[in-house]
Amino acid sequence: MKLLAGNANQPLASSIADYLDVPLTRAQVRRFADNEIFATIDENVRGEDVFIIQSTSAPANDHLMELLICMDALRRASARRITAVLPYFGYARQDRKTGGRTPISAKLVANLVTTAGADRVLTMELHAGQIQGFFDIPTDNLFITNTMEQDIRRNYKTDDLMIVSPDVGGVVRARALANRLGADLAIVDKRRERAGESEVMNIIGDVSGRACILFDDIVDSAGTLCNAAEAMMNKGAASVSAYVAHGVMSGRAFDRVDASALKELVVSNSIDHGDKFSKSSKVRCVSVAPLIGEAIRRIANEESVSKLFD
């Protein structure tokens, strides 16, 4: 097995390598003067089972091109199998036509990854399950529910919890966590006027006196979470926290969360934000390195990945 890391999330790649007790493959990914990306693999990978770890987070286009170019280099170096490990799959929110003459960018990215030489894909908490079908190669989608459940049990009393879905589309995800914790479920009914903006309209479920935990797959500008937290506090909630798989946290998201009614926001380290986590008073990070590392080990040993979620 060989592990190769792009520049998108070196800390996570190093943690995965530590979990597997496998050193990261020596490689260089750099830019020419005109910002064209160049990659070279500094170790022999002929006949090897190579996992390239690269989130396609901001700057999404640069990180995506790094991934494609590294896979092309591995393919031309005669790697036996190339697995694209995408802790965060960018462009996942563009998974359907939302109007006339609009793209399905998630399908385009899937085609690019396949054409560049990936033999299989390992990702985590896809925005929509059907994106797995966009790939014509084996694709494993990991779920973060177990990781978040363990953190919640360590930090919250489970007898008065209320798990909350921030929208109707996330009910299945929130219900899975609520069932594992033996908690009740509530839903936020919201109206989104335009992309990046949302308005909370109603809370479905009695949150009065409950410790509420919003559970979602992506937090971008954090507007929805902050509005939902304020609405639930107005309905008498004892406290409102949020657990989210991918902390995109664009723009002033960190400041918005710090100034909101949220008790805390817990995200995974699928996206690297440097020292912003330590500077925030409310945003906390949990590691998914053991989850991804174990999935990589099982794939390399031809073992079941789905048993991770039994």
Residues 275 and 299 in one domain: no
Length of the chain measured in residues: 310
pLDDT of residue 108: 97
What would the mean pLDDT of 162-183 be, rounded to a whole number?
A: 94
* In a shared domain, residues 150 and 281: yes
Residue with tokens 């793209």: 103
- Judge if 149 and 83 occupy the same domain: no
DSSP 74: H
User: pTM here?
Assistant: 0.94
Q: Are 266 and 295 in a shared domain?
A: no
For 161, half-sphere exposure in the C-beta direction (CA atoms, 13 angstrom radius) is: 24
Residues 73 and 123 in one domain: yes
Over residues 11-48, the pLDDT tens digits come to: 999 999 999 999 999 999 999 999 999 999 999 999 99
Short-list 269, 280, 292, CA closest to 8: 269
Flag whether pLDDT at 191 surpasses 80: no
| Tally of domains within the chain | 2
Domain range enclosing 23:
2-142+290-309
Q: Are residues 74 and 205 in the same domain?
A: no
Identify each DSSP E strand in the chain by its residue range.
2-5, 27-31, 37-41, 49-53, 81-86, 120-124, 139-142, 161-165, 184-194, 197-204, 211-219, 239-247, 265-268, 283-286
Indicate which CATH number applies to the domain containing 262: 3.40.50.2020
Q: Could you tell me if 187 and 245 lie in one domain?
A: yes
Catalytically annotated residues: 190
85 and 188 housed in the same domain: no
Same-domain status, 149 and 138 = no
| Same domain, residue pair 151 and 120 | no
Pairing of strands 139-142, 161-165: unpaired
Q: Which of 1, 3, 59 is nearest to 31 (CA)?
A: 59
Please give the pLDDT value at position 190.
76
Verify that 129 and 149 share a domain, yes or no.
no
Report whether pLDDT(192) > 90: no
Q: Identify the band that residue 194 occupies on the pLDDT scale cut at 50, 70 and 90.
A: low
- pLDDT for the residue numbered 169: 86
* Residue (of 22, 31, 69) closest to 49 by Cα position: 22
> Both 227 and 210 in a single domain?
yes
Q: Is 114 helix (H, G, I), strand (E, B) or coil?
A: helix
Written as six digits, the tokens of 17 are: 């390598």
The mean pLDDT value of the chain amounts to 94
Q: What is the pLDDT of residues 54-82, one digit of tens each?
A: 999 999 999 999 999 999 999 999 999 99
Over pLDDT 90: what percentage of the chain? 90
Rounded Cα distance between 247 and 267, Å, is 6
